[in-house]
Amino acid sequence: MKVRVGLGSCGIAAGGRKVMDRLAQEIKNHGKEIELLPTGCIGMCFYEPIVDVFDGDKVYSYANVTADMATEIFNSHIIGGQPLTQYIVSTTEKPYTILAKQVRIALRNCGVIDPENVDEYKANDGYKALSKALKEMTPEEVIEEIKVAGLRGRGGAGFPTWFKWNAARQSKGEIKYVVCNADEGDPGAFMDRSVLEGDPHALLEGMAICGYAIGANEGHIYCRAEYPLAIKRLEIAIADAKQRNLLGKNIMGTNFSFDMKIKKGAGAFVCGEETALIASLEGERGMPRLKPPFPAQSGFWGKPTNINNVETFANVPWIMYNGGSAYAAYGTEKSKGTKVFALAGKIKNGGLVEVPMGMSLREVIYDIGGGILNDREFKAVQMGGPSGGCIPKQLLDTPVDYDSINKTGAIMGSGGMIVMDETTCMVDMARFFLDFTVKESCGKCIYCRIGTKRMLEILERITTGEGREGDIEELEELSISIKDGSLCGLGQTAPNPVLTTIRYFRDEYEAHIRDKKCPAKSCKPLLTYTINQDNCKGCTLCAQKCPVQAITGEKKKPHVIDQALCTKCGNCASVCRLDAVCIE
C-alpha cells in the first residue's frame, strides 16, 4: 500500500507536515510495509492538507486532514480496510469534479508524483522528450515543433516562443544562455511556485530542450529567495539529473552538454522585465535598459540569451513528446494550448486551475472555482496583477485568450485572477495595486518614479474622503503620460488598474469624491456607524466591544454612538445579533 501527502507550500501551511509526521509514526508503531511519499500541490489549495491512499487499484483522497484525522484514517482504512467516506473528496470511480473541465499539461505531474524522486518523473514519460529531441531531431526541427504548437510566452507578454528561440539560434556566438524567469512577483500569483515545488524536472527538461534548440550549454534559473521549498526541490532535481546523465556532459551519450545553476533573487518586481533580470543575474542592481539590442542578440554577459518563464518551459516536454499539433488542438486560433491561473480573493475554491484557452471567465470562476465566497454577488476580477486591470460583471463571458482579455483593458499576465465581490471598493483596490507599483519601481524613469507617486497620493486622498473635482481627470492624464514615458513594462502598465476601474466603476470614484461615501462600505474614513433605535434591545454587547467607549445607553434600552469618539473599527457591527448597527 502507498500513502501520499500534499506537501506544497499550501499543504505545509495548512498542517501537512504534522499529518506526514503522524502517519510516519503510525507506520513505525505498527511495523507495516507502507510507502509514505510527499507530493506537490494538485491545485486544490482549499482542500489541503490532502492525503491519498492507494488501496489496490483504487485511490482514495482525503481533504483537510488533521493529525488526529490521519490517525483515524490509518486505523480505519489503512489497517482496517474501511475507507472513511465522510472525509473522502475523490475516488478512482468519482474523481474531483473540479478537474472535469481542466486540461493539465503544465500541471500534469503536480500533486501526482514525488517531486524529489527523479524515477517517478521518468515513470510518467519524463525526459523522453529530451531524448527524442537529442537523438531524432535537429535544433531547427525542435523550434519548428514549438512553432506548430503555437506556444506563446506565459510570463505575461504572450510573445511567440518559437520566435524568441529562433532569434537566439540565429545569433552568432559560441556561448549562449538559457534563462528561466521564476521571479513571479504579482500579488496573488503562485503558478510558477507550484510547478517548481511539484514538478521541478519538467522545468529542467524544458530548459535543456531549449538549450539544444538555440545552441546553449548553460541554463540559469532566477528564482526569488522567498521560495525556499521550490529552491530546495530544484537543487535536489538538478543533482539527481546530473547523476543520471540527464544534465551535464554529453547528455544521454550525445554530443550535447547542458549545465544548470540557480540564482536567488531578492524579490524585486521589476526583475520580471528581462533586461532587469539579466542585470540582477550579473550582480548589478535590477534595472531595465533600452532595447534593442534584445537579449536574443546581447543578453547575459553580452551573449545571446533566451528567457522564458517557468510555465512556458514546463509545457515544452509535453509538446515535444506528444507533438506540436496535439498542443495546438487546444485553445483558440491565436491563443493555443492551455493556461494556468491562480484563483484567489473572494472565491470558494481557491487554488490553481489549468484550462484550455478560450474558456469563459464565468466557467473558470463558477464552474471550476465554485463561485463567490459566502454566495455574495460577483463584482469584478483583477487579471494581470499590478500590470493588469479589472474585468467587471458585464464582461464575465469574455473568453480567456490574449486578444479578448486585452480588449477589456486588462492583460493575461502570468495568470493571477483575484476575484472580488460587492464588498470590494474598486477605488481602494486600484490604490492597493498602485501602492505596490510605487514601492517596486526601480526609480530609473521620472514618469514611473514620480508619476505613480502622484497618482497614489490622489487615490489616497479619495479613499480618505478628501477627494476633489478634477481628480478623476488628473488620474487619466497622469496615466497616459506614465504609459508613454516609461522605459519598461512596469511603468507602462502601472496605470492599468486605475484606468480600468475608472472605465467600469466611475460612479464609485464620483461617490467617494462628491458624496464622501464608499458604496462598497469598505473605506473606513467614509463610513458612519449608527444604531437603529427600533432594532436595538439594549443587550450592551456592542458597548462592551467598543474599544473607545463611544457607545452608551442603559441596559435593555436603545444605545447610541458618539460620532466624535467613534474610530469606525466595526466591532459593534460584527457582534450585533439584531442587525441594529447600520453602516452608511
Q: Residues forming the annotated binding site for NAD(+)?
A: 155, 274, 291
Grid cell locating 354: 489549468
Annotated binding-site residues for [4Fe-4S] cluster read 442, 445, 448, 488, 536, 539, 541-543, 546, 559, 566, 569, 572, 576
The DSSP line for 538-582 is ---HHHHH-TT--EE--TTS--EE-TTT-----HHHHH-SSS-EE
Grid cell locating 396: 464575465
The Cα-based distances of 537 to 381, 555, 556 in angstroms read 40, 8, 5
- In whole angstroms, give the CA distance from residue 458 to residue 390: 19
Annotated binding-site residues for [2Fe-2S] cluster read 10-11, 41, 45, 48
Annotated binding-site residues for Zn(2+) read 425, 512, 518, 523
Grid cell locating 302: 553580452
Q: Which element (helix H / strand E) includes 215?
A: none
ω before 187 within 30° of 0 (cis)?
no
> Residue 562: how many CB atoms within 10 A of its CB?
12
- Return the SS3 of 348: coil
- In whole angstroms, give the CA distance from residue 66 to residue 433: 36
Cβ contact 382:417 at 8 Å = yes
Largest CA distance in the chain: 88
Q: Which residues contact 528 (CB under 8 A, 6 or more apart)?
A: 563, 583, 584
From 65, 186, 207, 70, select the one nearest 133 (Cα to Cα): 207
Cβ contact 328:149 at 8 Å = yes
> Residue 56: how many CB atoms within 10 A of its CB?
7
Residue that is written with C-alpha cell 492624464 in the block:
477
Grid cell locating 205: 527538461
Cβ contact 482:495 at 8 Å = yes
Helix extents (H) in 97-214? 118-123, 128-136, 139-149, 161-170, 191-198, 200-214
- Return the SS3 of 373: helix
Phi, psi of 580 (to 5 degrees): -85, -25
The Cα-based distances of 460 to 27, 125, 381, 469 in angstroms read 57, 53, 22, 15
**Beta strand pairing status for 218-224 and 259-265?**
parallel
Annotated binding-site residues for FMN read 154, 164, 274, 309
Q: Which residues contact 407 (CB under 8 A, 6 or more apart)?
A: none
Annotated binding-site residues read 10-11, 41, 45, 48, 154-155, 164, 274, 291, 309, 425, 442, 445, 448, 488, 512, 518, 523, 536, 539, 541-543, 546, 559, 566, 569, 572, 576
Cβ contact 154:315 at 8 Å = yes
From 107, 96, 106, select the one nearest 47 (Cα to Cα): 96
Residue that is written with C-alpha cell 540565429 in the block:
170
SS (H, E, C) 402-444: HHHHHHCCCCCCCCEEEEEECCCCHHHHHHHHHHHHHHHCCCC
